[in-house]
Every structure is written in structure tokens, then in C-alpha cells.
Structure 1
């Protein structure tokens, strides 16, 4: 996969969001399954348990080592199959307000994923992280090897792109963030 960052800022309502697009030569129903069915999530990000009809699931990531494997509650404030899914989580890593929107035209589906910007300083890590996972999704759905997406190709390689985006929201953030961590 390419380490070229694709994330951008978008305004939704009165809030800033990070956004990423990925395109699939597949109907929306197939892409919907890849982002909602636990067994289809497993190859690229993790699995969930529970009953979504309850308004939440317990989600465990599988590519984060031990720290990501602890199940976290993800509330589901909106679900309009196969067009829109919104999930929210509050964890030790922050507040995650995610949106996944699907648009299909002529058998090609575009997935637009957004994350509400709750912490401008976190953009430098969030951006490369979602690039990594979305590329893993593309690999999983196209028969590729998800191991082909190597974390080191994303962070710190894409950090500067996301620091520049953050700097447009909070001028001077670049100086406060300093060099990449880890």
C-alpha cells in the first residue's frame, strides 16, 4: 500500500472532522458487510460481540497488541444499512466519534470515514492510524495480504501531513507538538 496520506479536514455542522475516502469495485452491500459483520472486520481491524439492536457492541481490536485487545463499548447512535453507520466510544485513548458513509454508483462504492476532531493535538496520530486500517480494509476486500500494510510506512511517515492539517485548526500546534513520539 502507498504511504501517501489521503486524509483531509471537513466541516460537518458546527464541528471539524478528519475524513478519508476509499473506493471499492463492489456494491454497497458488500462494503457494508466488510465494515459491520464481525467476521469480515477480523482480517483488517478487530471483532465485536453483543447485539447491535441494543444500541452498542463490545469491540476488540486485533492489530494493536495486548493494549487494543481489551473489549471497549461502542455506542451506535445511527445505523441506516447500507448507507450510514455512526459509532462512538470513550476510552483511555480518547473520545472516538466515527462516521462511515457509503455511496454506490454503477457498482462502485465509495466509503467515506470521518472522525470528529475532539483533540487537535491527537490528529498527528489519528490520521496515520486510520490510513493504516483503511488500507488494511482495502487489502482484505481485494484479496491482498493485510500484512502488506506495515505500520512503519504510516507513522511517522504521514505525521507531517496531519500536523499540517492540525495547524490549520490551531495555528502554532506544530511547534507545540515537536518531533514524533515513539
Structure 2
């Protein structure tokens, strides 16, 4: 499957962010569990360990190969089942992520945003989040997340995100 990029730039307060949306024919509590419970995350992106009550968890990706070191994610806001804000800085960059959920008539919309810390990373992180969010959709619709092929996302979506980076890097 070759997907069309869905990520867009939004100004959020005083920061720039990339934003993606995915919809699910599922109750909000089910989608919340898919993005917060380690066992459910494992199906599409990775697992976490620790006690969220401590204000952080250790997250390990599982679809990037076996040599990916775990990252510490600080929990900045957690308001089940509507809002999760987490931050990490690791060897791969800065990850300031917000997940917002809303339900209407049995359809839950997940809006995920990442603060743009470094425009030079957009060409990779944009397609990366498209890939992982589509793996989430696959997991939640009973499809096989492993069937989502990274080669359909990169380099196919690279130009879309380079264009966003170029617009942001050019003073207005």
C-alpha cells in the first residue's frame, strides 16, 4: 500500500507542530487503551515499563530492530481518556508528543501532534509517524501491523515533509 501523507503543520500556541489524525469505529476508552496500555502498544509500536504515577515510563520500540535503546518518557499530562502529553529527548531527537481523543457517534478521532524541535528531522519523523499510526489502525481493525510496509512511507512521503520544513525554515 502506498499511502498519501496526512500530516500537516499547525501553529499550537507559540510552537509549530506536525499533526496527524486517525479515526476508529470504536469507543474512546478502547482507543485510549490502544495508545496507553503497554500490552496494546506492543502490537504496533513498543512497550513501556515503570509506574506512570512516578511521572515517567521507560519506552522501548519494537518495530525498529533489536538495537534500539529504551527512552525515558516524561508524562506531562494524562487526562484519561482524552489527553496524553509526553516528552523525551534521546539519541534520535526530541519528542514532544500530544495525543488528543474525542468520540462522536461511536467514532473516535485520535489527533496526535509533535512539536517541531528541529525542521531538519521532518523528512524522517513525518513518514515515521504516518507508518506507526497506520500500524495502530491495522492493530485496531484486526489487520496485521507487520503488513504495513515502511517502504510505502519512505521515501514516498519524504517530499511532503521536506516542503513543510522548507516553509518553516524560510522567514516570512
TM range (shorter): over 0.9
* 1:26-175 paired onto structure 2 within 5 Å: 26-68=26-68, 70-171=69-170
Give the TM-score normalised by structure 1: 0.92
Query: What RMSD over aligned residues (CA atoms) do the two structures have, in Å?
Result: 1.1
Give a deviation string over 1:33-91, Cα, whole Å, max 9, x none.
000000000010000000001100000000011232x2210000100000000110010
Determine helix, strand or coil for the equivalent of 1:79: strand
Q: Which consecutive residues of structure 1, in runs of 5 or more, have no partner in the other structure?
A: 173-182
Give the TM-score normalised by structure 2: 0.97
Q: Which consecutive residues of structure 2, in runs of 5 or more, have no partner in the other structure?
A: none
- Measured in 2, the distance between the counterparts of 1:132 and 1:5 equals 10
- Measured in 2, the distance between the counterparts of 1:93 and 1:147 equals 23
Number of corresponding residues: 171
Deviation above 2 Å: which 4+ runs of structure 1?
none
